[in-house]
Amino acid sequence: MSSEHAEGQSANPFPFNNLFLIKGYVTGRNEAWLYVLGLAAAFVGYFCFQLIMMLPLMAAAQSHGIGMDRIMQDPAILFNPDAIGMNRSVMLALLMGMFVFTLLFFWLFARFIQHKPLASMLTGFETFRWKRYFFAFSVWGALLLAFTLISYITSPGELELRFDAPKFIVLFLVAVIMVPIQTATEELLFRGYLMQGFSLVFKNALPALLITSVFFGLLHASNPEAQAHGLLIMMPYYILFGAFLGVLTLLDEGAELAMGVHFANNFFSALLICSKNSVLQTDAVFYTSVEEPVGELIAWAIMATLCFFIFYKTYKLSNWKLLIR
């Protein structure tokens, strides 16, 4: 380390060396109770749209002979597009709409109450680094496509081709508009708002990384695949994915790479493969009746390792001290 750099670090007036965490420290109001209210505002938006969404879902269910007694016994049936006779892409748009309201309510609170621009929770730099975002999207998307192709070639019996061009075009349009909003909202809240907030509490990034990763896992605990395969199998995947995105955010001092990976993951998952317990029931290219969560976790770990190696080499993500300060 050069003497100039050492002097710059010793003269650092902030509790962090990480530009992303410093951005949270110097921007807006940072009282702990405001973070609680900010998170509450996001959930209010989420549940407000969920209440609105119930109207068309219940109407569709009742038009297909599903009464209130059945809905009360099995509320999840409302989110099964085949059971209630709703177009799958319309269902996807409704599900993604909850995140539009989440983002709107959170933005109103952050902008007018906490005085935090959304950009301050997404990058430690002056402007959002779009090249990183699209590069990360391309890398993770290419890995997903490659693993899907390998699976189709090596185990053709496990993937049933169900490509329907008109339905797929509608799915693509809905996904390309709505999925970026959904994934950006989750990254904004978990890798941005909460990561910066918990770092202010602990004056250290590592506890913030661990806590937000666990919270990210808990958010997905009610997903159909978690209910089908059990939390002991699915929670490690959710938490590790959250930790992977958190590490990228801290090492790169911004959430651009994490946002690109998250967008690609959900976008291509919606387009490529659907199964009985997929959280997104879509008119995907393939359908599989074989679900192997352990094998999928291993495949994900391989993809994450390859992806991180590419980012590590491309963007020189070698300052591991950024994971602490």
What is the tens place of the pLDDT at every residue in 209-229? 999 999 999 999 988 888 888
The DSSP 8-state label assigned to residue 120 in this structure reads: G
* Boundary of a domain, candidates 87, 116, 145: 116
Task: Count other Cβ atoms within 10 Å, centred on residue 324.
Answer: 14
Q: Which amino acid appears at position 77 of this protein?
A: I
Q: Within this chain, do residues 56 and 204 fall inside the same structural domain, yes or no?
A: no
User: In this model, does residue 57 exceed pLDDT 60?
Assistant: yes
Mean pLDDT of 160-177: 96
Q: Is position 18 within any domain?
A: no
Containing 314, the helix (H) or strand (E) segment is helix 293-315
Q: Within this chain, do residues 264 and 234 fall inside the same structural domain, yes or no?
A: yes
Close Cβ partners of 62 (under 8 Å, ≥ 6 residues apart): none
* Boundary of a domain, candidates 116, 143, 170: 116
Mean pLDDT of 77-84: 87
Q: What are the helix and strand counts (H, E) for the chain?
A: 14, 3
Higher model confidence: residue 302 or residue 75? Answer: 302
Mean pLDDT of 278-306: 92
Q: Within this chain, do residues 135 and 222 fall inside the same structural domain, yes or no?
A: yes
Instruction: Measure the CA–CA gap between 214 and 249, rounded to whole angstroms.
Output: 16
Q: Within this chain, do residues 203 and 297 fall inside the same structural domain, yes or no?
A: yes
Q: Within this chain, do residues 108 and 203 fall inside the same structural domain, yes or no?
A: no
User: In this model, does residue 176 exceed pLDDT 60?
Assistant: yes
CA nearest to 234, candidates 277, 195, 273, 266? 277
Q: Within this chain, do residues 103 and 201 fall inside the same structural domain, yes or no?
A: no
Q: Is position 5 within any domain?
A: no
Model confidence band, residue 5 (pLDDT cutoffs 50, 70, 90): very low
* Boundary of a domain, candidates 116, 151, 169: 116
Q: Is position 22 within any domain?
A: no
Model confidence band, residue 11 (pLDDT cutoffs 50, 70, 90): low
Q: Is position 291 within any domain?
A: yes
- Cβ neighbourhood burial of 33 (10 Å; 0-12, 13-18, 19+): exposed
**Amino acid 36: pLDDT:** 97
Q: Which domain does 32 fall in, by range?
A: 28-116
User: In this model, does residue 160 exceed pLDDT 70?
Assistant: yes
Containing 160, the helix (H) or strand (E) segment is strand 160-161
DSSP 164-200: -HHHHHHHHHHHHHHHHHHHHHHHIIIIIIIHHHHHH
User: In this model, does residue 1 exceed pLDDT 70?
Assistant: no
Beta bridge partners of 286: 161, 273
Model confidence band, residue 156 (pLDDT cutoffs 50, 70, 90): confident
Sign of CA dihedral 35, 41, 44, 46: negative
Domain count, the chain: 2
Q: Which amino acid appears at position 208 of this protein?
A: A
What share of the chain has pLDDT > 90, as a percent?
72
Q: Within this chain, do residues 112 and 134 fall inside the same structural domain, yes or no?
A: no
Model confidence band, residue 89 (pLDDT cutoffs 50, 70, 90): very high
Average pLDDT of every residue of the chain: 92
CA nearest to 260, candidates 148, 316, 183? 183
**Amino acid 260: pLDDT:** 98
Q: Within this chain, do residues 145 and 33 fall inside the same structural domain, yes or no?
A: no
Q: Is position 3 within any domain?
A: no
User: In this model, does residue 190 exceed pLDDT 60?
Assistant: yes
User: In this model, does residue 158 exceed pLDDT 90?
Assistant: no
Q: Within this chain, do residues 64 and 179 fall inside the same structural domain, yes or no?
A: no
Q: Within this chain, do residues 152 and 111 fall inside the same structural domain, yes or no?
A: no
User: In this model, does residue 12 exceed pLDDT 80?
Assistant: no
User: In this model, does residue 8 exceed pLDDT 80?
Assistant: no
Model confidence band, residue 280 (pLDDT cutoffs 50, 70, 90): confident
Q: Within this chain, do residues 305 and 269 fall inside the same structural domain, yes or no?
A: yes
Q: Within this chain, do residues 270 and 196 fall inside the same structural domain, yes or no?
A: yes
Q: Is position 13 within any domain?
A: no
**Amino acid 72: pLDDT:** 86
Tens of pLDDT, residue by residue over 225-248, are: 888 888 888 999 999 999 999 999
Q: Is position 11 within any domain?
A: no
